Structure 1
């Protein structure tokens, strides 16, 4: 908890604007947040790609994980970090953070077995709603 407060304070010092995509990207870029011992530049790269997908980037979810070799357990940490600043928006959509994390985690695990385009569409739509409103 202390560490999280420290990170938030650092973010405010550099002009982090909670609840905005730009604010989050600035924050990730400037601090290269390090979660669970994963290399910070990998976390940053994943975060950028997820944001891109949420905003309609043509890449697929599989591209992210193939390209930067992220294990599902680390990927879910990235999602949690990105969603922290959007929990109010989640309430408006009517889905809890836990539900979304579980959807994403199961999607990532199913990717190995070749999940359907519908799975991808569903998750992309949820993220689009969260980040674009």
Structure 2
């Protein structure tokens, strides 16, 4: 597979990240009540309000969109500049995701790691990991940023 990325970032961002996003799409699409209750600590027995359902399904759609874009772009584009710009957009998305998630959870809940649900772990640790890996890529840790 010839792309503009070195091997490790290629598999991480072009294969691993889309797979994780497909899993997130499936969880939010098939189990929206679980997703909301696990993230917000609401009672899992109550039904979601229509606005909550709309929000969860929109998030689900975004997970699928980013998965498809990442897979297609990072596995077919050979232009290093386009690849870097795409990864830069995802880098900012990681920051936004982390910022919004931690802000909404609140300082007390963020620091109470023992109380985190699987959904909270996924919403904090996965973006933090991807943000770190993208930063290392931009710093050239995985080799040349511009593959010939």
Structure 1 length as normaliser, TM-score?
Answer: 0.31
Using CA pairs under 8 Å that are at least 6 residues apart, name the structure with larger relative contact order, 1 or 2.
Answer: 2
> Going by fraction, where is helix more abundant, 1 or 2?
2
Larger radius of gyration: 2
Structure 2 length as normaliser, TM-score?
Answer: 0.29
